[in-house]
Amino acid sequence: MVHRLRADDVLLTGWERVDDDRFRVSVRWPDRHDHFTPRRRQYPPQLVGETMRQATMLLAHTEYGVPLEDQFLIRDLDYRLRPDRLGVGEGPARIDAEIVCSAVRRRRGRLVAMHCRMTACRGQEVVAVAAGNVGITTAAVYRRLRHTRPPAELAAFAVPVAPERVGRTDPRHVVLAPTPQAERWQLRADPLNATLTGRARDHYSGLILMEAVYQAVLAGPGRRDFCPASFSIDFFRYADFAPPCWIEAHTVPAATPGSTTVVVTGRQEGLTVFEASVGDARAF
């Protein structure tokens, strides 16, 4: 239901409908996980995006009738979080997420697009808010559009940057390979890492691309201790396994004095795959 291959990667534990397009979703954030690894005794911000992604897919399948074989395309995702409320306690964290779906579009009775908004609470405190748009296509249409794309065997398995540069301890979870240019990396992935690759068989998964954003932020000069409080990303096309996809990052003036905003872009064959922005200023 949430397009995960490993049970340990499933964050959701239940859901209920509140009204027509409003739902409550129960979430469990693991205190130990080989990819969603707490850093400095804080849950990683990547859990917010993954919670939103899994909840959207779960509700699409269970409440809006989307067949399990249909394909999802995240068009954009934006979230704000409170790092000071992400501390790891004793055992997994229970998160209560309210999901509101809107702009629901159907074609011939099938769901083809919708907008989702999430408010995630830990106890009485809001820890994150998120919003995003998703498109859905049938398996037959997807095969027709993507059948000529490079197979997974052509994915770049280049030597990764040192794990500690990107907040990791295991090179299997590093998705950037170094290049001679500063603030520029080649996207890479370990094909045996089921958490990152997911069900994608002809392109780099959205989870890999979002992980590349976070790693590019940390890998830049003077940003090893960067603490994200906001994240936004727009996807423009699939990131094929070949030719190489290049990840570039640079800082831009931030609206809040003393804060930092980093823009990260993915490009392939001169075309923009995604553009993301990550900031450390408190958003709420």
Do 1 and 95 reside in the same domain of the chain?
A: yes
- Amino acid identity at 122: R
Do 135 and 10 reside in the same domain of the chain?
A: yes
pTM for the whole structure: 0.95
Strand partners, 101: 116
Residue 199 confidence (pLDDT): 75
Do 3 and 138 reside in the same domain of the chain?
A: yes
Residue 146 confidence (pLDDT): 82
Give the integer Cα–Cα distance in Å for 234 and 75.
6
Range of 214's domain?
Answer: 148-284
3-state secondary structure (DSSP) of residue 146: helix
Which pLDDT tens digit goes with each residue over 233-266?
999 999 999 899 999 999 998 888 889 999 999 9
* Mean of pLDDT values over 183-193: 93
Which pLDDT tens digit goes with each residue over 63-96?
999 999 999 999 999 999 999 999 999 999 999 9
Residue 217 has which token pair? Answer: 């932020």
For residue 39, the domain's CATH number is 3.10.129.10
DSSP state string for 69-134: T-EEEEEEEEEEE-GGG-B--SSPEEEEEEEEEEEEEEETTEEEEEEEEEEEEETTEEEEEEEEEE
Do 14 and 121 reside in the same domain of the chain?
A: yes
Do 103 and 171 reside in the same domain of the chain?
A: no
Q: How many separate domains does the chain show?
A: 2
Give residue for tokens 């075309």: 271
